[in-house]
Amino acid sequence: MRDLITADDTISHVLLLRAADPRTIVLVESDEDSSALDPHVDEVLCQTIPTNGRDVVLGAISRAQDLFIDRVLGVIDSDQHRIIGTAPSCTNIIMTTWCDMETEIAFSNDQKVLQRVIRAHFDNHAFERVLGNSSMLSMGDAVAEILRPVSLLRMASRRDGLGLNISSVPIHEVISGSPAKMDLERFYKIVCAKSKDSPMSPQDVSSIVSKEIRDCQIGSSSICNGHDFVAAVGKIGALATQEKVGAKVLERSLRAAFDCESLRSTALYADVAEWSERNSTKVWVCGQGRD
């Protein structure tokens, strides 16, 4: 039923809650985002409410402001919007620094969370061998570099309105080998097959990616989608150890390993703390002696 929730539904829920519960409210995009943040939220003074995606959070925050409902914050994925210049300008909206909550967690605290998750599910040395990280990038950055063509195509499609369906591409089907790499020809074919409303051919898509690779100077980690990233980690782990760990399991492991130290290393933590101070409230319990 979550996928039927609208901004109006959300703000109605907020109004009902406020009639009996004065706590600060943080609207997030999903149940998964709530589960990542809830262990670090001061539940006496604040609560998170999962919604149905970015647009619902933005719409609900707009309505909250129109109705002068105080202490309602929206936390959303940046989804490359900051990079392409389409980020919302609103004092009650905070975006992740990285593309989404998954990469916010994975790249926090010098990637210590990611390292713990990889060690928990795979042989760390075998993972690094299949990763083929000859440039001595961190493991997370090396995975993001493999995914660079996917990330650049996502960015180009969002920025230029190309209508390409990249989200449904099974990343595990387009990464293979040792060292691991993407089968770009197969990737382009799958994108076109799934993009029913786009007239583009695989050759067109290849040309777009080639141009983006030439022109884009932004680091791969900064533009990498979290679901792509986690799927790639799972596939590289499977290539390394023959242990198949699903993306959902890895995402849950990342959230579970996201400790206070790692949260405090993020700009998200600082931005929310600053918003809390401006609004005379408190969101985080991290840093208050309960680490």
pTM of the model: 0.93
Question: What tens digit of pLDDT does each residue of 82-139 get?
Answer: 999 999 999 999 999 999 999 999 999 999 999 999 999 999 999 999 998 756 579 9
**Average pLDDT over all residues of the chain:** 94
Are 80 and 98 a contacting pair, CB within 8 Å? Answer: no
186-199: per-residue pLDDT in tens? 999 999 999 998 99
